[in-house]
């Protein structure tokens, strides 16, 4: 499988670096997947999207808060929205993880809201459909913003919520686009991530 994944970024000495964390790299290595990292550059990323072929899956990973106003956050958001448009045009499945789910919701007209108690915490989620073998799961959580029923784009069906009805997983009603608010790539095993990707590739 060939995967296109967008980049997170962080400050590094007097500049910034783009990166894909090793949770993802370890997963790709274990599954023998090929991945292409899309940089946070409008010009370069657009050139890559014009020339790349044979992409099977797009992943928008976690990272910085979407609402920040610095130029790096704005550039990443632009690159990721362009990547979603590319996926829609080419009919490529898309997975958004944490921040990536927020970006997808925003792209389709939804909003995000401030959320408490979801940064570096574990909590239960409740499945609307029993797609992972049981109705309740304990998941990790690393986000300051979330999506609720009011802020969710109307293009998506809810697949999981937390106890406060914050949305933890959704699926586009017509497209192969999924979003999850936790980080399945950081779990002790990749069972749930494997099942999500299997759903996307059906």
**Is 113 designated active site?**
no
Residue 87, classed as helix, strand or coil, is: helix
Q: Where are the alpha helices (DSSP H) in 32-98?
A: 42-51, 71-90
> Cα angle at 194 between 150 and 128, to 5 degrees?
35
| Beta bridge mates, 59 | 5, 95
* Alpha-carbon gap, residue 29 to 72, rounded angstroms: 28
Question: Are 52 and 36 within 8 A, CB to CB?
Answer: yes
**Is 185 designated active site?**
yes
**Is 143 designated active site?**
no
89: left (phi over 0), alpha (psi -120 to 50) or beta: alpha
80, 98, 137, 143: the catalytic one is 98
Catalytic residue numbers read 98, 183, 185
């Amino acid at each position: 499988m060939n995967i296109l994944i967008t980049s997170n970024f962080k400050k590094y000495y007097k500049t910034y670096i783009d990166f894909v964390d090793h949770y993802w790299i370890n997963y790709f290595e274990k599954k023998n997947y090929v991945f292409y990292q899309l940089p946070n550059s409008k010009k370069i990323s657009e050139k890559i999207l014009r020339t790349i072929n044979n992409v099977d899956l797009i992943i928008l990973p976690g990272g910085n808060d979407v609402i920040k106003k610095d130029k790096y956050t704005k550039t990443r958001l632009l690159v990721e929205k362009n990547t979603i448009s590319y996926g829609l045009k080419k009919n490529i499945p898309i997975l958004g993880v944490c921040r990536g789910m927020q970006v997808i919701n925003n792209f389709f007209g939804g909003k995000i809201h401030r959320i408490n108690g979801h940064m570096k915490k574990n909590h239960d989620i409740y499945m609307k459909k029993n797609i992972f073998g049981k109705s309740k799961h304990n998941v990790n959580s690393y986000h300051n913003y979330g999506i609720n029923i009011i802020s969710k784009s109307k293009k998506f069906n809810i697949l999981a919520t937390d106890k406060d009805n914050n949305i933890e997983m959704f699926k586009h009603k017509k497209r192969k686009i999924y979003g999850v608010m936790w980080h399945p790539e950081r779990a002790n095993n990749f069972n749930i991530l494997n099942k999500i990707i299997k759903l996307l590739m059906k």
